[in-house]
């Protein structure tokens, strides 16, 4: 206790995940006086094909524009 | 806000996931007047070896019957 | 299967929750051919004091401005 | 988009929750370069009657000892 | 580690929750050799107005039939 | 109803997962009289690089000591 679940869109490096675990644990120790050994944290790296925002999958929202559209726009 | 987590037994295609994200976002916009940009949706595709129902793993429940049993039954 | 968890900032009426459950179930039936009886949906209504976005609790972000500041600003 | 769920055994004050939201958001901004506006955090305060550890409910584990036992022990 | 979340439709008594925590912890100790002290379990009691199945809120599905319909049926 | 999510640090064999699903379902049937068919259980096997406890990733906490340190210590 406490248990923290962090869902990220995309991936993070091991060092980034390690730093986040240290930061979040420190916050719960400092703010609530929790025993760090009791703080459990799970980081879930979610593929952009499985994460939606604004009604779209991030994979679609962030997909590079097809060349044709890009060319048509730039020559207008 | 809101945050939606959808756990599926098995997999779904990108188009299916895209359609579900659009449907669920639309429902929260229509029913609650939420801002679509604030609606986050995560779809977790869970292997049948990790999903249980009725006291069994789906992988066991849905496993094809061993040939022998099938033959014995059909010749009764 | 599937299991859906929906976390809302604030509350919703029973009718709104009923409509959302119907919409989301319909989407999973239509898009994935799921059996509606197997679709479980939990709606969690989270107090603005327990929901954070942009580094703030929603309760703070949406708190009405103290009168004094409001008066000072309007007389500038 | 990250979404963070924090389950606490017992309650926290509004100021404590506000500080935790700020800390955790800052960590995700600093470590992953996330946009703070996209970081959603839900804090669930779980009653000790609903949180188990070591095979016991925290409500049982942390319950004050009945007087009799306490007296018997102290007079040994 | 592990962390278990159990969502129940409706409520359970303290004794029932205590027994479930003991059972589930024992299973993870017996099957996986986990250290019971590291097993965290959260039980969430969800109101029937917030739990949907088969496209309906349980509160609607399980609502007693209105008297009139009941009378009309019984006199056919 | 109910829905159970079990997060494990590391992996489990299919037989172990199958036994856990049977145990947990049995507990909810015995203690709460639930219909086993309605009990859904998801087991998430989390990599030690994604599971933190005591402020560290389990991958770091459980990493074998570098040879050098081990040698220096043993020759003291």
pLDDT digits (tens, 9 = 90+) for E29-53: 999 999 999 999 999 999 999 999 9
On the question of pLDDT at D73 being above 70, the answer is: no
Structural domain count of chain C: 1
pLDDT tens by residue, C14-24? 999 999 999 99
pLDDT band at E71 (very low <50, low <70, confident <90, very high): low
On the question of pLDDT at C55 being above 70, the answer is: yes
Contacts of A42 in chain F (CB under 8 A): 7, 46, 50-52
On the question of pLDDT at E70 being above 70, the answer is: no
DSSP-derived 3-state class of residue D40? strand
Of these residues, C2, C36, C64, C66, which one is catalytic? C2
* Residues F20/F43, Cβ–Cβ less than 8 Å: yes
Distance separating alpha carbons of residues A38 and A31, to the nearest angstrom: 15
pLDDT of residue C69: 53
pLDDT of residue F28: 98
Contacts of E3 in chain A (CB under 8 A): 3, 40, 42
Q: Which residue of C has its CA nearest to F3?
A: C3
pLDDT of residue D13: 98
> Which domain does F27 fall in, by range?
3-74
Q: Mutate which of D8, D44, D45, D46 to disrupt the A interface (most A C-beta within 10 Å)?
A: D8
For chain D, give the mean pLDDT. Answer: 90
Distance separating alpha carbons of residues A35 and A25, to the nearest angstrom: 9
pLDDT band at E67 (very low <50, low <70, confident <90, very high): confident
pLDDT tens by residue, F19-62? 999 999 999 999 999 999 999 999 999 999 999 999 999 999 98
- By Cβ distance, the residue of F16, F31, F51 closest to E20 is F31
Cα–Cα distances (Å) from F7 to D23, D36, E1, F42, F65, in that order, read: 25, 27, 8, 8, 27
Domain harbouring D61, CATH code: 3.30.429.10
pLDDT tens by residue, A45-75? 999 999 999 999 999 998 887 775 555 555 5
- By Cβ distance, the residue of E7, E59, E60 closest to C42 is E7
pLDDT tens by residue, B8-63? 999 999 999 999 999 999 999 999 999 999 999 999 999 999 999 999 999 999 88
Nearest Cα to Cα of residue D44 among D4, D1, D3, D7 = D7
On the question of pLDDT at E64 being above 90, the answer is: no
Q: Do chains B and E touch (3 or more CB pairs under 8 A)?
A: no
pLDDT tens by residue, A36-46? 999 999 999 99
Distance separating alpha carbons of residues F12 and B50, to the nearest angstrom: 10
* Backbone conformation region of residue F69, classed left if phi is above 0, alpha if psi is from -120 to 50, else beta: alpha
Q: Do A31 and D19 touch (CB under 8 A)?
A: yes
Contacts of E40 in chain D (CB under 8 A): 51-53
Find the helix packing angle between D14-32 and A14-32, rounded to 10°. Answer: 160
pLDDT of residue B68: 59
- By Cβ distance, the residue of B14, B37, B42 closest to A46 is B42
pLDDT tens by residue, A15-25? 999 999 999 99
Contacts of D56 in chain E (CB under 8 A): 18, 21-22
- By Cβ distance, the residue of F1, F16, F26 closest to E9 is F1
Q: Do E54 and C25 touch (CB under 8 A)?
A: yes
């Amino acid at each position: 206790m406490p248990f923290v679940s962090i869902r990220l869109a995309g991936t993070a490096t091991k060092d980034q995940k390690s730093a986040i675990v240290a930061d979040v644990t420190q916050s719960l120790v400092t703010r609530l006086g929790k025993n760090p050994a009791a703080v459990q944290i799970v980081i879930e790296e979610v593929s952009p094909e499985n994460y939606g925002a604004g009604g779209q999958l991030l994979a679609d929202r962030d997909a590079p524009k097809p060349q044709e559209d890009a060319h048509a726009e730039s020559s207008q």
